[in-house]
Structure 1
Amino acid sequence: MENGEEIAVKKLHPVVWIDDEQFKNELNILMRVKHKNIVRLVGYCYHTAQIVVDYKGKPVSASVVERAICLEYMQGGSLADQLSAEPCTLDWDKCYKIIKDICEGLHYLHNVDAPIYHLDLKPANILLDKDMVAKLGDFGLSRLFDAMQTYITESRDMKGTGGYMPPEYINRQQISPKFDIFSLGVIIIQIMAGKDGYFNCADTPPKEFIKHVCENWRMRLQATMSSHLSEEVRTCIEIALKCVEDDRTRRPTIAQIVNELSNIGNKLTALKTFLTSSIGCSS
């Protein structure tokens, strides 16, 4: 832009069922979503032009609508770029920060005045800025609801990405806040155990899978694996397994997840305070 700011422009494919009113409504959703872990909408472009096309051998006039949205540019690419069959190549501190960022962004969406369900949460839709701060993007499938409750969609309207959709949506087309929670669990497992980790955990008893993931990270971190880091690893994989429960009523809410992650930080702060005071007393 003229002020030197880099932005990303996303051109929307023309779709006959999206009318002007629907487009404006989607923009209104994006424009009121403002959070440090949500990709920021900068503006939008909308243009209608008349063109002449050939129809059954005759020239006819037709309207062509061009739409594009302008978003903050995320220099770090997507989380998908960091994932492979093995656990995430980033160090644990960055992985843990990304997990917390995703949870904070989702917590915001689920707790705004009119809750928003993302409905297509996956690594490709989690973008990273130059400082590796994770932000949720691509609300193409998001829906605005008046309350945190369950909705039923028509089977012909089913949309999403295979592997990240919960069983109640696949089997009964149910949409609730627990849809995004299931997707979150799959993403955390992929960060911690690799892309194939989710499919492996399905055939492994939970305690055994948790032990396996913790051991793998302990081997990677070796001497730097403090008891505090060990607790972070264990807590995250335990949360992830709860998120992918087949029974959605057994999955935690995003508020409970954020609170559990915050408790780890509170314990560390308390420990530092205790150690500082102990050193002061001994001196």
Structure 2
Amino acid sequence: MTAEKRIPLHELREITNGFSVDSRIGQGGYGDVYKGLYKGRDVAVKLLHVDTIQGIDDQQYLNEVGNLLRVKHPNIVQLLGYSYETTSELVEHKGKQGLSKHIYRVLCFEYLQGESLDKRLPEESFAPDWSIRYMIIKGICEGLNFLHRCEPPIFHLDLKPANILLDSSMMPKVADFGLSRVISQSHTQVTKQIKGTQAYMPPEFIKDGYISRKNDVFSLGLVMIEIMTGSLGYSGHIEMDEVVQFTQKVLSNWKNRIKATSEYPLEESHQVQTCIDTAMRCMELDRNNRPTIAEVLDTLNKTETHIPKRQEQKD
């Protein structure tokens, strides 16, 4: 940790009105998020659940701070600062006053107006154009690819729509690195601690605790499908004939929407098909058959050859 990133706890208390309910903008299993104004800019302040024992949640906190301080990328949420302080607070127990130590673990991030992807996907008005959905998919891939190319690599290990934030222009940013790991040597590990969201976990992790870069690839495939369907429409555990029906339904739905709105219906329909096929490859039960994030990006890039950039379309 570098000294210039540390923010005193009292400043973070002040900008969130004492971590008040009125300032709270999100709640999760590991902590709550508050909105504040710090040095003239809107920020999101994440307060991990306060406890009285040093060591509880420390590793998750150190993972998130340490890994985010290492990375800077347009598709990864920017960490602005952190605070780790122990305070002594007066409490009453069995009619007597006493001092109790409380550990505050706080993270300060850039504030993103677009909220998290899981909140936006169910909205009927969300990203009706394929180009926007594709931009979100591509941005997530760019962020993951940057993490996997770090030396040593960083594996997120909890990729899901709730951990993908959107800015005002719908650019996605991968967030919540509490379960992330820096993996060196063989780039594979085995763990007995199965943490995360089971719906997005690969089978080898659930069954045997295997950790590799292919964990994030499997999760990415599910996220891609969810972005295309608006819900977790495919679990990865249905029969092959059902897979065919599912993919045909997704493609048909998008073809109809693209035909009504796009200047490049054939090209964008091909792009949808490629995204579906790629997502299915990412969700292969055998991790050795899944592509790398770099290979996913290469496949997506090839679909863009005949489709002008969104900026060019506006011009």
TM-score range (shorter-chain normalised) is: 0.7 to 0.9
Match of 1:239 among 278, 295, 298: 278
Per the alignment, residue 228 of structure 2 pairs with: 192
Tell me the residue number matched to 1:277. Answer: none
* Structure 1 position 67, deviation (Å): 1.9
Match of 2:30 in 1: none
CA distance in 2, matches of 1:247, 1:110: 20
Instruction: Say which of 171, 188, 191 aligns to 2:207.
Output: 171
Decide whether the 8 Å contact of 2:60 with 2:179 is kept in 1: no
Q: CA deviation at 1:212?
A: 2.1
Match in the other structure for 2:195: 159
The secondary structure found in structure 1 opposite 2:101 is strand
In the alignment, which of 180, 183, 191 is matched to residue 145 of structure 1?
A: 183
- Give TM-score, length-normalised by structure 2: 0.77
| Structure-2 change in CA distance of 1:116 and 1:87 (3 Å) | farther
Query: What is the CA–CA distance in structure 2 between the aligned matches of 1:189 and 1:254, rounded to whole Å?
Result: 16
Which residues in structure 2 correspond to 1:1-283 (within 5 Å)? Answer: 1=37, 3-14=39-50, 16=53, 17-18=55-56, 23-24=61-62, 26-54=64-92, 59-84=97-122, 90-147=128-185, 149-154=187-192, 157-199=193-235, 202-205=238-241, 206-223=243-260, 224=262, 226-268=265-307
Distance in 2, matches of 1:74 and 1:65, equals 27
Contact 1:86 1:193 in 2 (8 A): no
Deviation at 1:100, TM superposition (A): 0.1
Kindly provide the amino acid, as one letter, of the partner of residue 255 in structure 1.
A
In structure 2, the residue matched to 1:281 is none
Residues in 2 aligned to 1:200 and 1:109: alpha-carbon distance in whole angstroms: 25
3-state DSSP class of the match of 2:304? helix
Using the TM superposition, give the Cα deviation of residue 75 of structure 1 relative to its aligned residue in structure 2, in angstroms: 0.3
Distance 2:285 2:240 in 1: 15
Moved more, 144-153 or 72-81: 144-153
Contact 1:87 1:192 in 2 (8 A): no
**Counterpart residue identity of residue 221, structure 2:** G
**Is the contact made by 1:166 and 1:246 (CA closer than 8 Å) also made in structure 2?**
yes
**Offset at 1:266?**
3.2
Q: Deviations over 1:180-232 (max 9, x none)?
A: 11111111111112324214882453444332221111112224352110111
Q: Which has the larger radius of gyration?
A: 1
Distance in 2, matches of 1:128 and 1:253, equals 24
Q: Compare relative contact order (CA 8 Å, sep 6+) and give the higher one, 1 or 2.
A: 1
| CA separation of 1:234 and 1:25: change in aligned 2, threshold 3 A | closer
How much identity, in percent, do the aligned residues show? 45
**Cα 1:244–1:20, aligned 2, differ >3 Å: closer, same or farther?**
closer
Structure 1 unmatched ranges of 5 or more: 270-283
Quote how far apart the aligned CAs of 1:24 are.
Answer: 4.7
Specify every segment of 5 or more residues in structure 2 that has no aligned partner in the other structure, as ranges. 1-36, 309-315
For 2:173, the aligned partner's letter is K
TM-score by length of 1: 0.85
Give the match's secondary structure for 1:63: strand
